[in-house]
A and B are shown apart, each in its own frame.
Chain A
């Protein structure tokens, strides 16, 4: 057969479509090739390139944890050409998938520590993978706190998961929305502000954050104020990607490619790269 062609996608079939919010859908897929489905492994945080043949490819984090392998889940927000085309698909439709790509959360180094997840909007997608992975290996980790916010309650993702997490004893879930909303009785406020309010202690804690660029920016400032060290703050980045394997030269920040050396980076790593923006 020769060397594997990294540009050829595997064919996957959609087994379930979940409407998370008005513009976000989650797609559960299985490989058409049962051997591939059995042998497929990945790490939490890795991504895949989903193709709609004839339209194009786009990068999404593998949303389901490697400990639950009946299907792979991807959450897609409708913003452009490819994501709009994906939103038109139903159960039984075919897509292409190139996975796993990129690096993953350094969960080995987090064992025994407290974990603080800070997510905004669809930013909960990569975090969900790690949260479920950690919950499936609960005893390896200390206190788990999840701070998650969205613009309105309607925009909160994974409502089923949120309900389950709220009822669990072994983690703390804090939900917030940006502004007051009829029927919403929980916290109100932007995620970085609520974080400052919570004032979690940085000792033996790793903070993992993902969300819209502006939320990440202010969250990082807040974490710094609270005394979190750069090596203990982890984030996942987004860039326009095409090849996904570090060849097309597009998604670089300095000498690092977000598709290959990322998308997971620690704040310490990011600070060592050229500050372009």
Chain B
């Protein structure tokens, strides 16, 4: 059994909690003193750093939401100056404005360390060739896994997404042993390989997949493992916390949330009350060591439960089991988070279409396909098919820019989309995972 940081990964749980308390206390003191945002938040909540006397006192602290990042676009709640930052990542926001995450060198190091521990836990290391087929760029997946894989001394093949035939050729030629990408992209790679006459099981050295950025199931795991002859591991994270950062270990039974990096709570999404280990609720994470953008009790919106038992692999940190859903209506399309409110916001700026819309998500082959149905307004109706095609292209273009994901648009007759009283159901998700 390999460990990257055996001292922390195997630390007795009582010691881990002591360490977490110290980190939390110092974080709270620092933020209360130096960050107007956190200072005001704590004042509103009537909590002072002196009130944090044990780890359980984390419950006294106010929650944070994605909205806080959006409202403070681009960098107003950063607690490091621009000179201290070494990188930005940007993800699309829920309504137009994106969210920006800044990283100091230490933030990048902690992120890479977290991934390095996970990759080590699944048996990867020096001598492995890791193909990173997550998107590189503003999205955190590509660079996150890249730095983590380099950290353990593996050889990185930074293929990013796309040009799948070439990805298969390189996988063979450079004897790739592990791939990091979304589960749906790995399925796509598998299908393309088959068409090329390449049997990934027999014709390549691939033996592990680090798959995340979108939900998948145990069924998909079994299918991919049998079909491709690999072990498939889940990885969890979100850009607000750095990016993908917590993987399963060889046991394949939950993400290890490293206690020196994050404090995980599960709460009742309605009341905000803390739930017991094993109970299902909304994941709430406090990043204990982040410098540029600390997140305290950040409500991610994912539903899961926490297992605090020591893992059979020997690691003592708590584990989150598979994500079981969302508290909101967020969709994940080809690894990209999409909120129906973003669609609504974008459509409102296009006079040719009405405010009503319907999103239909399907899985065609291995890839997600998102269709947005919109009503053509009376004023925009033209007798010429070309004009109508241009309207549709424009809507597709605008949605693509806002969501960072390709969208098909269908123009429908006014009044034909369902109207809802109260909570609307604007999303039809036909995907079977």
A and B form one complex = no
B residues with a Cβ closer than 8 A to A are none
Binding site for B on A (CB under 8 A): none
